[in-house]
Chain A
Amino acid sequence: MLKTYTWPRFAAREAPERGASTTRRVPLVIVGAGPVGLAAAIDAAQRGLPVLLLDEDDTVSVGSRGLCYAKRTLEILDRLGVGQRVVDKGVTWNVGRTFHREREVFSFDLLPDAGHRRPGMVNLQQYHLEQYLVERAQALPAIDLRWKHRVAQVEPRGDGALLHIDSAEGPYTLHADWLLVADGARSPIRRQLGLDVEGQVFRDRFLIADVLLDGEPFPLERTERRFWFEPIFFEGESALMHREADNVWRIDFQLGWEADPEAEKQPARVAPRIRALLDQHGFAHIGFELEWVSVYTFQCRRMKRFRHGRLLFVGDSAHQVSPFGARGANSGVQDTDNLMWKLQRVIGGRAPEALLDSYAQERESAADENIMNSTRSTDFMTPKSRAARTLRDAVLSLAAEVPAARALVNSGRLSVPSTLADSPLNTPDVDAFEGWMQPGAPMDDAPTHEAGASGWLLPAFGDGFALLFFGAPAADERALLAVLAVAEEPLRTVVVLPPGVPALPGLRYLHDAQSLAARRYDAQPGSVYLIRPDQHVAARWRRLDAGRVLAALRRAGGHQVATAEAATSA
């Protein structure tokens, strides 16, 4: 029992399918109501897809698990309707400071540029996030959320999968046209099907302690992440401190591979380490209580393929990383952001199944990037040979004086979204652009004004495909945009105007309040971006050309494109 949180117990309901003479066929089943499965279910429901969400338990995450939610994830949570709750309850931070013994050797700022709705990172205990997602899911009638329903066996079929499910009242069977597997790192479904997950196990152990403090080491508005190499308060290799909600602080101690997990978890062993950390940083007056203690090891690995026919793997079931980059839950939520609009189109008959291969391609690449960064951090933090240790120590010994060495200090490279540069859905540039908003990039945010009210660029996107048009469109451009708006694939337009330029009726107009949107998108009057339903850039041009837009739209929707544009991009 925690001082600061009481786990809810959700009521298990009886399955209406039990005892039925025929097997019920449902379009979409998601297994696992963790943050990733819940995000997927909410996204599906918001896109009009009925979904059955199964979980073998009847409560939210137990223990100290996911902690840091990155800017991109917060933007997705905004779209799912829980972003503000997470930000309000959680602890916002952007600055991380890294020490070697007593000396500060490196610091980073996740969000050096202002003008984004969301901060670089918000810390929040995973159970709060899950609870908000559950409450949101319960408010959506399209979600049939079943607690204490355990998938005992999956039989993949060409047209879906047969699911044999155990519930308190007994077993039943369903036919799912599509199955999303979000059942976690140990994924019983992945194991039952004998699917490979390949990678590297790290030979090290880390102790997590969640502690409730009776004072504040630093004020809430100046929250930062602190990391120590060879800390003076602890005999191990490294330590990490994060602030969570409710003045709970999470401290990770790197114990080494030989440590005995059971012995290390004993409060009599943990408490003096916490006390030493506080005392040696001038906080001898602050008392604490232990909320949670556990010891963990980790792996960096992924499934070779995230799509197996009608089975789609998302989150930890598909890929796992070390925890030092906050790339676990964040990348899992980003998987669902990528997948659900595609699934909506395939189930609705508006896109070929091949569109789902782009989910696999894009998110396998993203997983590789996450695994690469998280492996590099781990290799720096836990050197595996004398040579690796000497190199690490050389970096730390130079870091305080030499900026080049400081840049190599790696205490975790924190989650940033992948630019899907090699995606088959992208239409390569034919015009020259500066900046980072290349095809495949997740949209940068910017402050806007709309009809006198302050707002943000990102919330204007995220349902269907849309055009982002910069500057006041001329009459002929307005005529083209009107045609595109009612085409077979309706394409909304959002116009971003410089401050002071008057809006015209007929289109949605946002004013670029600080001219940051134009700068971030390297926009000139007439520049136009094609935006995917997951707020990634699909294509961009210096001037509107309806033929090119339609070709790019077909390509981004997973259709074969056999036009001159396609040929030039081969």
Chain B
Amino acid sequence: MTQHLHLMPNFGSPGQRHRQAYAGGDAFYERLLDAHRGLSDAQSELLNARLLLLLANHIGDLRVIGEAIDLARAGIAEPPPPSKEAS
């Protein structure tokens, strides 16, 4: 269980409201995909790592970051079936 890490949907902009609950999350996802557009795989990995460092520093609270690391790692400890390559 996580004590400090928020797991509920949380994307949005102050002062903006969306009638459809998915709008904020979808906007985040699109923004991130746009940032990856045109990059090589290695460049994309670097982008993800740089982003992770910036966001982790912004959060700062090591209890939150520790819980996030544990949750993310736990899903990989039981590997999902291999995903298919893009055709």
Binding site for B on A (CB under 8 A): 101, 230, 237, 256-258, 372-373, 376, 379-380, 383-389, 391, 393, 397-398, 401-404, 407-408, 410, 413, 416, 419, 436
Contact = CB atoms under 8 A, between A and B. Distances in A.
Contacts of A379: 29-30, 33
Contacts of A389: 83, 86
A388 B37 CA distance: 9
B59 to A, nearest CB: 14
Given A230-B83, A385-B36, A387-B39, A376 B44 contact: no
Contacts of A387: 36, 39, 41, 44-45, 47-48
A376 B26 contact: yes
Given A256-B87, A376-B26, A397 B75 contact: yes
Nearest to B74: A401
B67 to A, nearest CB: 12
Contacts of A101: 81
Given A407-B9, A416-B19, A384 B30 contact: no
B26 A410 contact: yes
Given A385-B44, A387-B41, A230 B8 contact: no
Contacts of B32: 391
Contacts of A258: 87
Nearest to A398: B75
B26 to A, nearest CB: 5
Given A379-B33, A389-B86, A407 B25 contact: yes
Contact of A380 (B6, B29, B44, B45): B29
B29 A413 contact: no
A257 B87 CA distance: 7
Contacts of A384: 86
A413 B26 contact: yes
Contacts of A380: 29
A343 B7 CA distance: 50
Given A386-B41, A387-B41, A402-B7, A408 B71 contact: no
A404 B36 contact: no
B8 A404 contact: yes
Given A380-B29, A389-B86, A398-B75, A416 B20 contact: yes
B86 A404 contact: no
Contacts of A386: 41, 44, 86
Contacts of B26: 373, 376, 408, 410, 413
A469 to B, nearest CB: 25
B46 to A, nearest CB: 11
B44 A407 contact: no
A407 B24 CA distance: 10
B43 to A, nearest CB: 9
Contacts of B21: 407
A391 B33 contact: yes
The 9 closest A-B pairs by CB, nearest first: A387-B44, A256-B87, A407-B9, A387-B36, A386-B41, A407-B25, A408-B25, A376-B26, A402-B7
B30 to A, nearest CB: 5
A384 B44 CA distance: 13
Contacts of A372: 30
Contact of A383 (B39, B45, B47, B86): B86
Interface in B1-59: 6-10, 19-22, 25-26, 28-30, 32-33, 36-37, 39, 41, 44-45, 47-48
A408 B29 contact: yes
B81 to A, nearest CB: 7
A503 B22 CA distance: 42
5 contacts: A257-B87, A384-B86, A387-B39, A391-B32, A413-B20
A186 to B, nearest CB: 27
Contacts of A373: 26
A404 B20 CA distance: 15
